[in-house]
Copies of this chain bind each other. A is one copy, B any other.
């Protein structure tokens, strides 16, 4: 293939789709032809890319002719239906949905962690769940140093994870609260302003939600560590953008804080922000809109023998979605 790639973006008008365009621009990705695909209700819209306006076309089975790489971000249903069609047309698909993440023939990749896995693809490469990608960005360097056995984690997930309509909903509910009116929930089952909602995605038989089990299930594949255990509580919080996660991790080997710090500092895409007494710690208002994840609140865990507690934050739309997808495309 030539250095320039013809790209399709499926779900171009969604919250992640918009970010994909910005990331491609910012990283000067060598885009040849660009095709923006979305549902028929977005037809007629145009989106700006490198000072040109590109029309949004309805996604169809023949949308992939002449395309080299398709970045999918329109939900698992669309991916299940259209990704195989794209592959048949000779396209390499980077899929941001959950449709193929647990398919053993599909690499599931965070480039900084298991970028080499991309080589084994047969047409589709899966982009991990946002909370998984962000948590593993901090956990993986510690895992390399000490060998992780299990983690307990609780997430503080921004409304951006539910898409553009949820961002509007929080904005509307903030306006309602400021005007002393009742906040009306539409996207979420309960109000999200001045509230936290301890359920994301559907509930499984074991009582965890699908979202909560992703960290263990996807983590095992990305870390190449089938015994990795993760007990997670995923919670939606009234934050516009950027997820945060509180993690207690238990390791095989004894942990040393200086070794841990050095491992985190030298890891690409990650900043150590760890001076809590001076109020320096990762926060969504700082990681929002940035490519880099941040880790802090590093401390020896008081409940695990070989344990570390830490706090990680990252932009759900970027490292949790669009950035990671473009990084995968760059590996191709």
- Let me know if B302 and A208 touch, CB within 8 A: yes
Task: Kindly list chain B residues whose C-beta atoms are within 8 Å of the C-beta of A311.
Answer: 198, 233
Does any Cβ of B come within 8 Å of A114's Cβ? no
* Residues of chain B within 8 A of A123, CB atoms compared: none
Given A174-B178, A230-B303, verify A152-B248 contact (CB < 8 Å). Answer: yes
Tell me, in angstroms, the Cα distance from A189 to B282 when the chains sit together. 13
Closest to A177 in B: B174
Listed A/B pairs (6) with beta-carbon separation below 8 Å: A152-B303, A194-B284, A202-B277, A203-B276, A207-B298, A233-B246
| Pick from B207, B281, B304: contact of A198, CB under 8 Å | B281
Residues of chain B with a CB closer than 8 A to A283's CB: 190, 195-198
Closest CB in chain B relative to A278 CB, distance in Å: 9
Q: Among residues 281 to 302 in chain A, which have CB atoms less than 8 Å away from a CB atom of chain B?
A: 281-285, 296-302
Does A22 lie at the interface of the complex (its beta carbon under 8 Å from any beta carbon of B)? no
Closest B-chain residue to A209, C-beta based? B276
Q: Which residues of B contact A152 (CB under 8 A)?
A: 152, 248, 303
B150 contacts A303, C-beta separation under 8 Å: yes
Stretch at the interface among A27-35, A127-135, A136-144, A237-245: A237-245
A63 at the interface (CB under 8 A from B): no
- Which 6 A/B pairs are nearest by Cβ-Cβ distance? A207-B299, A154-B154, A178-B178, A231-B303, A233-B246, A152-B152
Q: Which positions in A face B, CB cutoff 8 Å?
A: 150-154, 156, 170, 174-175, 177-179, 189-191, 193-199, 202-203, 206-209, 213, 216, 229-231, 233, 235, 237-240, 244, 246, 248, 276-277, 279, 281-285, 296-304, 307, 309, 311
Inter-chain contact B231/A156, CB cutoff 8 Å:
no
Q: Closest approach, in angstroms, between the C-beta of A132 and any C-beta of chain B? A: 15
Q: A197 vs B239: C-alpha distance in the bound complex, in angstroms? A: 11
Contact partners of A240 in chain B: CB under 8 A: 194
On whether A307 and B196 interact (CB within 8 A), knowing A190-B279, A300-B206, A302-B206, the answer reads: no
Contact of A231 with B276 at beta-carbon distance under 8 Å, contacts A190-B283, A298-B207 already known: no
A171 to chain B, nearest CB (A): 8
Residues on the B chain within 8 Å of A206, using CB: 299-300, 302
